[in-house]
Amino acid sequence: MSYETISLVIDKRGVATLCLERPDKHNALNAQMIAELRDAAAIINAASDIRVVVLTGNGRSFCAGGDVNWFAENIERDRNGRIAESSTLADMLADLDQLQKPLIGKINGAAYGGGVGMISVCDIAVGVECSKFGLTEVRLGLLPANISPYVVARIGVNNSRATMLSGALFSATHAQSIGLLNHVVDEATIDAAIEAIVQDHLQAAPEAVAATKKLIRYVASHAMQDNMIYTADRLADAWETEEGKTGIDCFLNRTTPPWRTNE
């Protein structure tokens, strides 16, 4: 887990902190960071001892979007090369979106473009009140293309139009009002706010969490009739898992399930 543009630290509770580590560039995304984030996501998914992931940035910004030099490199590529490079960003966002563990965004500062996309794949996001946000691509003559599936799903069509079409910056309070952030706190209390959320997630059964994340993705994209069949099957599956059997037994006997060791 030796990286140049990110860091991945796992504590004894199984809480992983995934940090963007280009503070001098406001944690802007480049090809190396995208590749390293994909590698870290694979490690996190494969590690059974990781239960919760906190995504944050080092320095004053969370993520300023795409790096200027990365943009310049893409201009020099042919069309197929640009599509291939663009696809790596889409793949990275998909990897984070489909993590089997809860992904908590600790939004320590400003986020623009791709940074807003990364917030949008978090299961819950807490931002500092002094932060600014923006989907600024149109101001560069570009589109918020790869991030749009996640941003639109996060904030809805109306809010996407209101933010994407002008590229204007907006406050943390507004980010919360449109659903990009779940909570807004001051800088002095963000660590405590994140820790409280982590503690809540450590009370949940890991396999049930992974199955619930998959459940949410499915029901959000299928018709009611399909969902009725799918959800009945998934609940039957859950009753047959070791976690399900243990959880029900503990509930009936008023004992604590083994995954709640941090309660």
pLDDT at 263: 47
User: Residue 135: is its pLDDT beyond 60?
Assistant: yes
Q: For residue 186, count CB atoms less than 10 angstroms from its CB and return exposed for 0-12, middle for 13-18, buried for 19 or more.
A: exposed
The percent of residues above 90 in pLDDT, for the chain, comes to 88
Q: What is the pLDDT of residues 183-194, one digit of tens each?
A: 999 999 999 999
d(CA 197, CA 208): 18
Q: How confident is the model at residue 79 (pLDDT cuts 50, 70, 90)?
A: confident
pLDDT at 87: 85
Name the strand (E) or helix (H) holding 184.
strand 183-185
User: Residue 20: is its pLDDT beyond 70?
Assistant: yes
Range 150-175 average pLDDT: 98
- DSSP character string of 186-253: -GGGHHHHHHHHHHHHTTS-HHHHHHHHHHHHHHTTS-HHHHHHHHHHHHHHHHHSHHHHHHHHHHHH
